[in-house]
């Protein structure tokens, strides 16, 4: 994680780097995130709070046009919220856990696409999540 010591500027730079990385990936043929697209797939039970490796997150429950398959931003429409999440990371503010559903092929995001995107851009290893089995 690069740092100028000015968290707001660093968060803006983080977005620019993530967006640029997404553009390059798109030119190389990366697709959009995998989606389960069926709310019937959501389990009805309780969720457990876990620390989940970011590499195990493979898609989203609903289509996500603002991010590519690796959760890099594909449009400036997500910029404001993305930068707020990045700023929270850089200033040590606590963010709520994301919500995921576990499937045999990996975890799918129910809530928290921006948080997953920022965590990946900042090269974090894992993320706190409420996980439904």
Domain count, the chain: 1
Cα–Cα distance, 110 to 37 (Å, whole number): 11
CATH number of residue 61's parent domain: 3.90.1530.10
Residue 36 counted as domain residue: yes
Neighbours of 27 (CB within 10 A): 8
Residue 2 counted as domain residue: no
Give per-residue pLDDT as tens, 96-117: 999 999 999 899 999 999 999 9
| Residue given tokens 């974090």 in the structure block | 124
What average pLDDT score do residues 77-106 get? 94
Residue 41's pLDDT band (cuts 50, 70, 90): low
Give per-residue pLDDT as tens, 53-76: 999 999 888 888 888 888 999 899
Cα–Cα distance, 77 to 132 (Å, whole number): 29
Residue 124 counted as domain residue: yes
Domain limits for position 35: 7-132
Q: Which residues contact 68 (CB under 8 A, 6 or more apart)?
A: 22, 25, 26, 30, 31, 32, 33, 74
- The two tokens of residue 15 are 């977005």
Greater confidence, 45 or 35? 45
């Amino acid at each position: 994680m690069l740092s100028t010591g000015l968290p707001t500027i660093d968060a803006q730079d983080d977005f620019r780097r993530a967006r640029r990385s997404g553009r390059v990936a798109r030119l190389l043929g990366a697709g959009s995130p995998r989606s389960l697209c069926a709310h019937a797939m959501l389990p009805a039970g309780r969720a457990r709070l876990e620390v989940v490796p970011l590499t195990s997150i493979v898609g989203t429950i609903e289509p996500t046009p603002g991010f590519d398959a690796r959760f890099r931003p594909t449009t400036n429409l997500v910029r404001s919220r993305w930068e707020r999440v990045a700023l929270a990371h850089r200033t040590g503010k606590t963010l709520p856990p994301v919500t995921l559903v576990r499937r045999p092929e990996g975890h799918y995001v129910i809530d928290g696409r921006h948080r997953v995107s920022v965590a990946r851009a900042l090269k974090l290893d894992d993320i706190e999540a409420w996980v439904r089995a």
